[in-house]
Amino acid sequence: MMTVRLIAHTPEPEKVVAAAAKLCYSDSHIPDLLDGLDEARTARFLDMLSDLGHASPIEHASFTFGIEGVSRSLLAQITRHRIASFSVQSQRYVRLDDFRYVVPPAIEAVPEAKAAFLAAMEQDAASYLDLAHKLEEGHAARLMAEGMPEREARRKAEKLANEDARFALPNACETKMVVTMNARSLHNFFRLRCCERAQWEIRALAEEMLRLVYPVAPHLFRTAGPGCLAGPCPEGRMCCGHPDEVRERYRALRREAEA
């Protein structure tokens, strides 16, 4: 099951962004940059930035998420967002004896498809572990024949075996990661990945990430979400066909976050 936590963020992110905006539009000096930035004035600065489309100051606020229970397929998608930092559990150093995987909802909904999928996962898990053990024995025998002590040889052989056995793992295989993005990158991420046309798993992740950051910085993320929140659907002929429902869902998400 997907688990997402906001594990860290810039202290007082909205105030930091407002201070950066204040510097851009006034003759303020650094020692007094934070003076007078109460909640109301901070909100005015952030609303002004949003109305002007001046996005660079919001890069000064960053948010770090802990994510697990997602697939390697999702990993391939989220790392396309290059203005971000990623730390991902290594399949080279971690032997997946407890093989876990993500079952797509469309497969879950069809009993015959689910049965075939689960059988494939069981076979993949068995093949992976069998391959890992065979490779490990082969590497250990070679290293000991070269004069390496058995304990050291087996420790090194395990890592070498994992390195190649992971090629047998499927995209469904679960992974976990820590991801950091600044607020500007998050806005772009939400615009693309909260869209109904985004793949279901990364859309669910994006929606949960937005649900987590909104209470922390409501003015900073007041316009965050799929592209259709700001006007006509940007997907044109590829529109999902129900933008009004999407907009209402994100209004409800904000109401829920504010409650």
Q: Binding site for FAD: which residues? A: 56, 80-82, 182-184, 188
CA distance 18 to 41: 8
Contact 180, 94 (CB under 8 A): no
Tokens at 88, concatenated: 């991902």
Q: Which of 157, 192, 183 is nearest to 78 (CA)?
A: 192
Q: Which of 124, 223, 111, 120 is nearest to 165 (CA)?
A: 124
Would you list which residues are annotated within the binding site? 56, 77-82, 90-92, 166, 182-184, 188, 193
Contact 82, 184 (CB under 8 A): no
Would you list which residues are annotated within the binding site for dUMP? 77-80, 90-92, 166, 193
Q: Which of 187, 195, 188 is nearest to 242 (CA)?
A: 195
Supply the Cα-derived Rg of the chain in whole angstroms.
24
Across the strands, what pairs with 64? 8, 180
Q: Is 254 a catalytic residue?
A: no
Q: Pick the catalytic residue: 41, 193, 249, 251?
A: 193
CA distance 69 to 125: 17
Active site residues: 193
